[in-house]
Each structure stands twice: as structure tokens, then as C-alpha cells.
């Protein structure tokens, strides 16, 4: 485990109490400051002795790997997607497919670190609010770690596969009146009253695990830094985690160039994109967030200010895409590349298309789209937007008529 301390991102104060989620002095957001001196003695190849996955990057992680709670998360493919690139009219696009994590989303990267840390602290009950994927992931890791788990979900707004996962792994599933932001308020109150240990991404250990997606992308590209990395933004911690990983690789001298971090939101749930488009460093919460991409149906992103910092500091960009653009991109990724991503994840490719057509992105850029979750999480949306199955009599004549008719 690397030496580290938890500090306030806003005022820099040291935060000793491991059970607070904001700075006791100023109320600011927390972050982990890693001591990376030992890594400066290493080369990227040294890490390749361990199998691909989050724990390959243990020297960048604030948890002792000998006490890890792991279901072999990370190690996901980075596909070079030339047919998608051709369709978008850009020279080089890669898709990092996070849907192949143990519970089908990138959340497992943060959860292995978060739950391992919870075990180190000796907590017995963990919890989170979620639009679905975080709850599925926490429920699985809590099962593995033998912890009691409560998940707070916005009533009626969680995709079927994600709800099934949380129930299946044995979590207590609380369906809360209101949206994700309301569910998070309740989960935070429970944590403040010490009734559970909160594993939302406001917990600074979660983004530490999520940094590994960037480490892996760099490893897979032989540290040839891409021009741009695009990802969907909801509660806004993942883009911050990717940014933090970039800073750490720069600090240890493994990269000297920075990709433009580009955060895509869904229209109707786009406080970060709106703030960016008006040049602001803080955002105005969206009262009634709406989008078909329920994973990112969030109006008051906890890490919104961190996300904006990440975007500005890397010369990146942020825009919103419509539900129609999201579904179109989801189908494009499936039908050109054979990759099934959920709607929120398709926002990255939808955003890329928009950036190219508006001239923000150059056609000769090397781009990585992070596709954060598996399409099978939300079969209802796929079925609703696909042609119906064709009724067929049990004969070659009938089948042939349908196929060639
Ligand atoms: N993509 C997917 C598939 C997600 O589930 C989420 C967030 C995001 C993107 C956005 O990541 O919040 O770090 O900006 N899902 C959370 C959840 C909110 O509860 O599962 P972010």
C-alpha cells in the first residue's frame, strides 16, 4: 500500500476522521493525496508482472493489497474501432469497454478499493445511493466481504438488470420517493448518523480505484497518450478519477502529455455541460433531471466542481447530447463493432459525433471513448428501440421468405 493522506480538496486541511465525507473545517470535498516517491523508482513494465486489473496498480492505491476484497475487476478490453471511426469520419477511435467488469460496469474498480478499505476500518454495514450500477457493484462486493448492505434507489427509475443484481446479491433494496439526488441526501444522512458506511463516490477511496481505467488505457496504448478521452458524466466522480490518474502518471514521469478530458451529459441532466458552455467553474443544479440514460439522470452532481476543474485543466470540453443521439450512438456501436453498451455509456460516442460535426474535435485526433456499462443492464430500452421479432412458421419456405422477401 502506498502511503497516503486524506485531505480537503478545497482548503487543503488534513482529515483524520475516516467516517466523514466532507471536510470538518470548511465542508469541502475530500481527496486522497498519494505518496508516489516509491513509484518514481519503477517503470511501467514492472507492473506487468501482475495480471491485468485494478490491483496491478497497487502502488497507486491507498489500500493494502494483502487485504483486498476482489472479484477480478478491471482488465477490460480496449478495442480499436475502425468501423465506428469510419462512420464518425475520424481517423482513430478506441472503445474501452467497461461493461466486461464483474458486475458489468466501471463501478467495480472503485468498489474493490472502497470495500477493501471498509474492511480495514472494521465497519459492518455499508450503503450507497445509486442510479443502479453503483448499487449492483456494492451489493456484490458486500456479499464477497460478508458485510450488510443497503442501497437507496430512485423509485421506478432504475434499469431492470441493475435492480435484479442488487436484489440478487442480497442487499437491502430501499426504493426512495424522489430522484437520485434525493436518495443520496438520505444515504448521506444515514452515514452522518453513523448508521452505515457510505460508499458513494463522495467517499475519496472510490475514485482511487477508478483511476485504474486510465492506467489500463495507457498500458494498452503503450503509453502513447491519446489526444482526447471522452466519458459520460453523471455524479461526476469518474472524470475526476481519470484526471487524478493522469496527474499521478505525470508526477512519476511516465507520461508528459495530457489528453483533453471531455465529459458528455444527457440533455435534461446537464449541469456540468451547461456550466462549461458558459465558462463557469461551478454549476447550477438541475431541479428535475430527465433522460433515457437513467445511469446519468442526476441534477446535483457531488463532484461537479472537480469535473469542471479536470475539463478546464486539460483543455477538454463538455457538451450535452439528446436521448435520440444517445440511442443512435448505442445502435451504431452495436451494429458496427459488436459491442453492447448501455445508453449512458453511448453518450461518449454520441458526444464525439457532435464534437466532430461542430468542429471542436479534429478529424485526425486519436480518441478513446470510455463505455462505462453493459447494454444488458437495460434490455427494456434496447427492445423498445429495436425492430420486433418476426413471427415465422416452422418451415424453410417461411424462413426464406422473411430472409430474402
Ligand atoms: N456511466 C454509467 C453506466 C454509470 O452508471 C454512471 C454513474 C456514469 C456513467 C457516470 O459516472 O457518476 O462518476 O460521473 N452511475 C452512478 C450509479 C451514479 O449510481 O450507478 P459518474
Residues 400 and 405: their CA atoms lie apart, in Å, by 7
User: pLDDT averaged over the chain?
Assistant: 97
Residue 131 Cα: closest atom of ligand 1: 19
CB distance 300 to ligand 1 below 6 Å:
no
Cα(108) to ligand 1 centroid in Å equals 11
Residues 291 and 294: their CA atoms lie apart, in Å, by 6
pLDDT tens per residue across span 29-72: 999 999 999 999 999 999 999 999 999 999 999 999 999 999 99
Mean per-residue pLDDT, 123-149: 98
Does position 243 have pLDDT exceeding 90, yes or no? Answer: yes
Residues 33 and 15: their CA atoms lie apart, in Å, by 11
CB distance 234 to ligand 1 below 6 Å:
yes
CB distance 220 to ligand 1 below 6 Å:
no
pLDDT tens per residue across span 172-207: 999 999 999 999 999 999 999 999 999 999 999 999
Mean per-residue pLDDT, 114-136: 98
* Closest-CA residue to 6 (of 261, 24, 136, 183): 24
Does position 2 have pLDDT exceeding 80, yes or no? Answer: no
What proportion of the chain, given as a percentage, has pLDDT over 90?
99
Residues 150 and 374: their CA atoms lie apart, in Å, by 23
Q: What is the DSSP string of 336-389?
A: HH---B-HHHHHHHHHHHHHHHTTSS-TT-EEEEEE-BBGGG-HHHHHHTSPPP
pLDDT tens per residue across span 288-301: 999 999 999 999 99
CB distance 318 to ligand 1 below 6 Å:
no
Does position 400 have pLDDT exceeding 80, yes or no? Answer: yes
What integer pLDDT is reported at residue 386 of this predicted model?
97
Q: In whole angstroms, what separates CA 40 from the centre of its chain? A: 28
Cα(110) to ligand 1 centroid in Å equals 11
CB distance 296 to ligand 1 below 6 Å:
yes
CB distance 291 to ligand 1 below 6 Å:
no
Mean per-residue pLDDT, 354-367: 97
Which of 296, 298, 342, 350 is the best mutation target for the ligand 1 pocket, counting ligand atoms within 8 Å of the beta carbon and taking the most? 296
What integer pLDDT is reported at residue 1 of this predicted model?
59
Residue 347's pLDDT band, with cuts at 50, 70 and 90, is: very high
CB distance 130 to ligand 1 below 6 Å:
yes
Does position 246 have pLDDT exceeding 70, yes or no? Answer: yes
Residue 241 Cα: closest atom of ligand 1: 13
Model pTM score: 0.98
Does position 405 have pLDDT exceeding 90, yes or no? Answer: no
Q: Which CATH number fits domain 78-104+207-384: 3.40.50.1100, 3.30.420.40, 3.40.50.720, 2.102.10.10?
A: 3.40.50.1100
Cα(219) to ligand 1 centroid in Å equals 24
Q: Determine which residue's CA is closest to atom 3 belonging to ligand 1.
A: 373
What are the structural domain ranges in the chain? 78-104+207-384
Q: Determine which residue's CA is closest to atom 1 belonging to ligand 1.
A: 372
Amino acid at each position: 500500500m502506498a502511503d497516503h493522506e486524506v485531505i480537503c480538496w478545497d482548503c487543503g486541511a488534513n482529515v483524520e476522521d475516516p467516517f466523514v465525507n466532507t471536510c470538518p473545517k470548511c465542508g469541502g470535498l475530500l481527496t486522497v493525496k498519494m505518496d508516489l516517491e516509491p513509484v518514481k523508482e519503477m517503470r511501467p513494465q514492472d507492473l506487468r508482472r501482475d495480471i491485468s486489473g485494478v490491483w496491478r496498480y497497487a502502488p497507486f492505491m491507498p489500500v493494502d493489497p494483502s487485504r483486498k476484497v476482489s472479484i477480478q475487476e478491471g482488465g477490460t478490453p480496449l478495442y480499436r474501432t475502425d468501423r465506428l471511426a469510419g462512420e464518425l469520419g475520424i481517423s482513430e477511435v478506441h472503445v474501452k469497454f467497461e461493461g466486461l467488469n464483474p458486475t458489468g460496469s466501471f463501478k467495480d474498480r472503485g468498489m474493490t478499493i472502497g470495500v477493501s478499505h471498509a474492511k480495514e476500518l472494521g465497519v459492518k454495514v455499508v450503503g450507497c445511493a445509486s442510479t443502479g450500477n453503483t448499487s449492483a457493484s456494492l451489493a456484490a462486493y458486500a456479499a464477497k466481504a460478508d458485510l450488510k448492505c443497503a442501497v437507496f434507489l430512485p423509485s421506478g427509475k432504475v434499469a431492470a438488470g441493475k435492480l435484479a443484481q442488487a436484489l440478487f446479491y442480497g442487499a437491502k433494496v430501499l426504493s426512495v420517493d424522489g430522484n437520485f439526488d434525493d436518495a443520496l441526501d438520505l444515504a448521506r444522512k444515514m452515514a452522518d448518523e453513523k448508521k452505515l458506511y457510505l460508499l458513494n463516490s463522495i467517499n475519496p477511496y472510490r475514485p482511487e480505484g477508478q483511476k485504474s481505467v486510465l492506467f489500463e488505457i495507457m498500458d494498452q496504448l503503450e503509453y502513447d497518450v491519446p489526444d482526447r478521452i471522452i466519458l459520460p458524466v453523471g455524479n461526476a466522480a469518474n472524470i475526476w478519477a481519470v484526471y487524478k490518474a493522469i496527474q499521478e502518471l505525470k508526477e512519476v514521469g511516465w507520461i508528459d502529455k495530457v489528453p483533453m478530458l471531455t465529459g458528455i451529459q444527457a440533455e435534461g441532466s446537464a449541469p456540468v455541460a451547461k456550466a462549461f458552455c458558459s465558462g463557469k467553474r461551478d454549476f447550477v443544479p438541475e431541479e428535475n433531471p430527465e433522460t433515457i440514460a437513467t445511469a446519468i439522470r442526476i441534477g446535483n452532481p457531488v463532484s461537479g466542481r472537480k469535473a469542471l476543474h479536470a475539463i478546464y485543466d486539460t483543455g477538454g470540453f463538455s457538451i450535452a447530447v439528446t436521448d435520440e443521439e444517445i440511442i443512435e450512438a448505442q445502435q451504431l456501436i452495436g451494429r458496427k463493432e459488436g459491442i453492447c453498451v448501455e445508453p449512458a455509456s453511448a453518450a461518449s460516442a454520441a458526444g464525439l459525433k457532435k464534437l466532430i460535426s461542430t468542429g471542436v474535435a479534429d478529424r485526425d485526433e486519436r480518441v478513446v471513448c470510455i463505455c462505462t456499462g453493459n447494454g444488458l443492464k437495460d434490455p427494456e430500452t434496447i427492445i423498445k428501440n429495436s425492430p420486433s421479432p418476426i413471427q415465422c412458421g416452422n418451415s424453410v419456405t417461411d424462413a426464406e421468405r422473411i430472409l430474402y422477401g
